[in-house]
Chain A
Amino acid sequence: MNLSKILKNAFLIILASLVLTACATKKTSTTGQIQGDVYTGTDSVKYLASGVPDRVFFGTNETVLTTASRETLRKQAAWLRKNSDINVVLEGHADERGTREYNLALGERRANSAKDYLMTYGISSDRISVLSYGKERPVDSGSSPLAWSKNRRSVTVKAN
């Protein structure tokens, strides 16, 4: 085992690892709109009123609210308090990577998470109904992690 051989191997290894790390960094740059598997972008977001986003997003198979989601829902609650005659329907959705019926249940659970949070901010349950579309109404028809993350959502819709 001579020195030149060791050096040659070392060089090859360094080169290989550089290539790998390069790939890794490339990956992260295109998914800047996803953080911790939850969509953080604003592409598909609509607004109930100025500064009040109409939807919150979830991680894969998740139904818990992120900090960002809670912030959005607080804004929605405030807006609902101000407009006490408006009722809403919370529509829960899932991405396509799951079986149809389970996704219906998952969507309902997500919408219900949002509803519960709104209720803790004083919105009466009479004003909120919950509905699930499972994977039937994606906003993004693509089959990529970004598209899927946009589809995992609970959307607040004016009912009247």
Chain B
Amino acid sequence: MNRNFAISFGLHTLLVIITAMSLPFLAKKPIDLPPIISVELIQITEKTNIPFAPKAKKIIEKVKEKEKKLVSEQAPPKKIKKQKPNTVPLPDKKIEKIKKIKDEKQNPEKVETEIKQISEFEKKELFDTNSIAALIDKSKTESAETNKKLDKVTQDQDKEMDFGGLTLSEEDALKAQIFGCWSIPLGLPFNEDLLVRIKLQLKPDGSIIKTEILDHARMNKPGQAFYKVLAESALRAIKLCQPLRVPSKGYERWKDMQLNFDAREMLEG
């Protein structure tokens, strides 16, 4: 009994000494403060205008350097239309090149977002990587369809049209409006495909002329009753939100619109 006590006492003392000697080290360790990120408040106007801060200028210069390489490999935007014949026969190769470049750019995430901002600001001057991204995505979805001939046509259509989409602020405004109108049915199974795509035809004031549910056949499929419910909730959201928050100009570009209602993010969270 005494022996055990002595061993225990000895070990405890040893522990105390070790801790005492190491504590001061812990106390002295400096606390890592996260670097201060400056946030600029941006006014959302019809067209997004980012104040040309000196930091942004530096980054733009940097990106321009990077872009120069890109621009020289492909024809500058203004010349695209003319050079279409050169690039059309090799759509796949081009996409691969673009993908590679896009991937390289994705590694420094910060740069990616800045490119986006810059592209808004200097749309006409720089090669719009956004539109390339859109191009890739479109071609992906298009390739899912069986009609290959159409692929080439739509790709070219897109290239002409990359300057016709909604601006970031226009899209945000519309999204915010519809987010507020959409009552997501609570009873949906969260492990199923919860995407409803609705095509709209709009009047200049944002009211709806016509709605069309893509995947209409799915509405009556057995076992997919929740899809009908989901689609109806999306239609209700659109109706509730009339007139939609549409841009005041450029009716031609947004009179046909597609809204992709995806409930998965809300239900999975």
Binding site for B on A (CB under 8 A): 1, 5-7, 9-10, 13-14, 17
How far apart are B28's CB and chain A's nearest CB, in angstroms? 9
B39 close to chain A: CB less than 8 A: no
A1-B21, A9-B24 are known contacts; what are 16 more A-B pairs with Cβ within 8 Å?
A1-B24, A5-B24, A6-B21, A6-B24, A7-B20, A9-B19, A9-B20, A9-B23, A10-B16, A10-B17, A10-B19, A10-B20, A13-B19, A13-B20, A14-B16, A17-B16
B236 close to chain A: CB less than 8 A: no
Q: How far is the CA of A134 from the CA of B50 in the complex (A)?
A: 73
Q: How far is the CA of A94 from the CA of B12 in the complex (A)?
A: 41
Looking at chain A's contact residues, the main secondary structure is helix
Interface residues of B in 12-40 (CB under 8 A from A): 12, 16-17, 19-21, 23-25
Q: Which residues of A contact B21 (CB under 8 A)?
A: 1, 6
Binding site for A on B (CB under 8 A): 12, 16-17, 19-21, 23-25
Total contacts A-B at CB 8 Å = 22
Looking at chain B's contact residues, the main secondary structure is helix
How far apart are A144's CB and chain B's nearest CB, in angstroms? 30
How far apart are B246's CB and chain A's nearest CB, in angstroms? 59
Q: How far is the CA of A101 from the CA of B23 in the complex (A)?
A: 53
Task: Closest A residue to B17 by CB, please name it.
Answer: A10
Contact present for B20 and A6 (CB under 8 Å): yes
Q: Which residues of B contact A5 (CB under 8 A)?
A: 24
Task: Closest B residue to A6 by CB, please name it.
Answer: B20
Contact present for B24 and A17 (CB under 8 Å): no
Task: Closest A residue to B19 by CB, please name it.
Answer: A13
Q: How far is the CA of A13 from the CA of B13 in the complex (A)?
A: 10
Q: Which residues of B contact A9 (CB under 8 A)?
A: 19-20, 23-24
Can you name 19 A-B pairs with beta carbons within 8 Å?
A1-B21, A1-B24, A1-B25, A5-B24, A6-B20, A6-B21, A6-B24, A7-B20, A9-B20, A9-B23, A9-B24, A10-B16, A10-B19, A10-B20, A13-B16, A13-B19, A13-B20, A17-B12, A17-B16
